[in-house]
Amino acid sequence: MVPAADIIAAIATPPGRGGIGVIRISGKPLTNLAKIILGKLPKPRSACLSKFVDTNGQVIDQGIALYFPAPNSYTGEDVLELQGHGGPAVMNLLLSQCLLAGARLAQPGEFTLRAYLNNKIDLIQAESVADIIEASTIEAARCAINSLQGRFSSRIEELVSLLITLRMLIEAALDFPEDEIDNLQTIQIQDRLEHIHSQLEQIFNDARQGNLLQEGIKIALVGEPNVGKSSLLNQLVEEEVAIVTEIPGTTRDTIQRTIMIAGIPIHIIDTAGLRETNDIVEQKGIERTHAAIKHADMVIWLVDSNQQQICVTNQVSSHIPIDKPRITVFNKIDLLLQNPKIEYEENNPKIHLSAKTGAGIELLRKKILEIAGWQFNPAGEGLFMARQRHLEALKLARTHLDIARSFTENEDQLELLAEELRLSQCALSSITGQFTADDLLGEIFSHFCIGK
């Protein structure tokens, strides 16, 4: 796939007023456009104080012009950046003159797309550009920078290299069937495959950490009316975002807030209490509660501490899928003069706390991170940003490796083994963009801001 030969231009700085505004232009050649706007083509990679003029020769603005000839530029094409005063009017006027001089308005992410298509960066690095811009925490920004610098890509490439070597070994055996495969060669294939599988598992675990930093987790607070869901939300958010009263059914709609725990975005949804009701408005809220449970990554089920003995048969529990991670919280321990504590049951930890006083809240925070799979890493060593599509590709590669492992015992199944290894390699290569459908590229880059 070859990028279009036309010239693109866009405002590369955020909308609004600022001290500096930047117009970015990419394409080849830029000589004519530069002569129209600047009167000449600037010296490569040198800041040049210039007057920016329109097609009639009238001065629009004055600023710095920077010229980066291909292939040594961000996009791999000729790139011209015009740094002027950051007022919306002057920026839009300058951009319009660039369009009159032969450029067209860039699509979202088109500069980075051209960098990818010209082999300046791979697809992981291209996505990390957007991740850096969107990072909401220092930890997320560091991980995105690690991906931009190629940490994630290099680990995928190393794994692909191991797969290629193993495939060559198997293909050689297929090409020379007269040479029987001895036990030593069979063991070598098995050992190599186990090593590849182990490396893939490590990459997947690290990718999950990066995905948590980017996307976080969704948590639904559920329970009967008046068990303290809104109080718990307020305690976690550390501000009064939900109305708290002793009247059951006060919360009739979902309330969502995002907090940060160890740099992980936690999207908490306070839901309407689950109970039988004839109130039409409350019924609508309960319907949204069911939807929140369905789409949540984790459920926090609140129970009044006085109801511990009947909580097992509580109707609320029947609405939580068995395979959905959950934490059972026994609230209002302050009324029983109890201390916070945590009890462990298989796949269902129980935390005793007070949403009113805040006692035990820290236990809940730590347990949320533990169930989410977060492994605290203060230095961010080895972490990189990963998106959901990366995780899905890694899962697919792992599935094919698992199938391949079942074909290592019988030499008559070498062709099947080789095919599963090929499919695993294709899944991994889709992460870096070596084998990527055009429609996926369109989906990825459409979410970029214009000018990147």
Element housing 407 (H / E):
none
Choices 3.60.15.10, 2.40.50.100, 1.20.1250.20, 1.20.120.430: CATH for 132-213+387-433:
1.20.120.430
**Residue ranges with strand state E in 174-253:** 217-222
Sort strands 78-86 and 18-27 into parallel, antiparallel or unpaired.
Answer: antiparallel
Report domain extents, the chain: 8-121, 132-213+387-433, 220-372
CATH superfamily of 220-372: P-loop containing nucleotide triphosphate hydrolases (3.40.50.300)
Instruction: Please give the pLDDT value at position 322.
Output: 80
Q: Alpha carbon of 444 to those of 129, 244, 392, 436: distances in Å?
A: 12, 42, 15, 11
Q: Alpha carbon of 345 to those of 219, 296, 349, 350, 428: distances in Å?
A: 20, 21, 5, 7, 37
Specify whether the CB–CB gap between 333 and 339 falls below 8 A: yes
Q: 152 phi and psi, to 5 degrees?
A: -65, -45
| Fold assignment, 8-121 | Gyrase A; domain 2 (3.30.1360)
Which residues of the chain carry a pLDDT beneath 50? 1-3, 242-252, 309, 311-313, 379
Radius of gyration of the chain measured on its C-alpha atoms? 29
Give the predicted TM-score (pTM) of the model.
0.73
